[in-house]
């Protein structure tokens, strides 16, 4: 019988076409699976906690694999030696055979950040939006309405591909710190393009391009018929936390 292991990792998504292995680009999955095969000698398909878009980052990301090959000594150290600098393995944890990195997730938390002053140290994790002038209090007001169970179909890139577009948004926060605006969204699930569409529409409220009532109408009706609909750039988006019903080791 094969043993099940969780792999806890992080990555900077700038160079990758998202997490998933794919034909027309390089996904993080491909790089990690190749490292596991090289170091662990365990050919395996990683089953991830979810997918990320091209250019999106993850501070905490989990996937699982099944193998009957015992992990070699200093596995994490050796994997990190083999992996490029923009992917890090935190730990490899032996789990119960039924533990599932995707289906057992309770909540995910995403953060989106923009900055006004151009800064080379921020360029990969924050979206440069020069000289933005927007009403943050208006954005914060409508963002509060996102909490709870709602039909987020109006903030989904491909709603027809989901069996349901209902999500339970546990928490939404909006912070303004010096030249930065930071959004945080915690929910039981996220739809395709959801966070980037939400942030873009919130900015439209802040700019006065759509009204607060327009935003709430998108949320209430589950579709978006207003102009300027697009996703904000991916580099400001990071998956910052994954919560499971069981405790997993977290790096200091």
Residue pLDDT, tens place only, 238-248: 999 999 999 88
208: left (phi over 0), alpha (psi -120 to 50) or beta: left
- 171 beta partners: 186
Q: Is 53 a catalytic residue?
A: yes
- Which of the residues 3, 53, 151, 224 is marked catalytic? 53
Rounded to 5 degrees, what are φ and ψ at 35? Answer: -65, -40
The pLDDT assigned to 108 comes to: 97
State the Cα angle at 233 between 230 and 234, rounded to 5°: 120
Q: Is residue 176 a contact partner of residue 136, using CB atoms and an 8 Å limit? A: yes
Give the pTM: 0.93
User: Shortest CA distance to 152 belongs to which of 174, 168, 140?
Assistant: 168
The pLDDT assigned to 121 comes to: 83
The domains located in the chain, with CATH, are 3-104 (3.30.70.580), 107-240 (3.30.70.660)
How far is the CA of 29 from the CAs of 26, 159, 242, in angstroms? 8, 25, 18
The pLDDT assigned to 134 comes to: 84
Q: Is residue 153 a contact partner of residue 167, using CB atoms and an 8 Å limit? A: no
The pLDDT assigned to 130 comes to: 83
What share of residues in the chain are helix, strand, coil (percent, to 5)? 25, 30, 45
Weakly modelled stretches of the chain, pLDDT under 70: 131-132, 249-252
The pLDDT assigned to 133 comes to: 76
Residue pLDDT, tens place only, 57-97: 999 999 999 999 999 999 999 999 999 999 999 999 999 99
């Amino acid at each position: 019988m094969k043993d099940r292991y969780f792999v806890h990792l992080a990555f900077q998504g700038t160079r990758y076409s998202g997490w998933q292995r794919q034909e027309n680009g390089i996904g993080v999955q491909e790089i990690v699976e190749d490292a596991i095969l090289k170091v662990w000698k365990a050919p395996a398909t990683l089953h991830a906690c979810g997918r990320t878009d091209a250019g999106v980052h993850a501070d905490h990301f989990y996937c699982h694999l099944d193998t009957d090959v015992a992990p070699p000594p200093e596995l994490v150290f050796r994997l990190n030696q083999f992996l490029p600098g923009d992917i890090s393995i935190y730990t490899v944890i032996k789990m119960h055979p039924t533990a599932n990195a995707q289906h057992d997730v309770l909540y995910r938390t995403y953060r989106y950040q923009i900055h006004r002053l151009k800064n080379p140290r921020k360029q990969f994790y924050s979206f440069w939006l020069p000289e933005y002038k927007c009403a943050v209090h208006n954005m914060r007001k409508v963002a509060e309405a996102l909490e709870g169970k709602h039909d987020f179909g109006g903030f989904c890139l491909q709603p027809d591909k989901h069996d349901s577009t209902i999500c339970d948004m546990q928490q939404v926060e909006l912070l303004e710190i010096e030249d930065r605006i930071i959004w945080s969204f915690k929910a039981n699930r996220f739809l395709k393009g959801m966070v980037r569409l939400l942030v873009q529409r919130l900015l439209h409220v802040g700019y006065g391009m759509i009204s607060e009532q327009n935003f709430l109408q998108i949320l209430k009706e589950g579709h978006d018929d207003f102009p300027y609909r697009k996703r904000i750039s991916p580099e400001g988006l990071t998956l910052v936390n994954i919560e499971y019903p069981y405790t997993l080791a977290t790096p200091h």
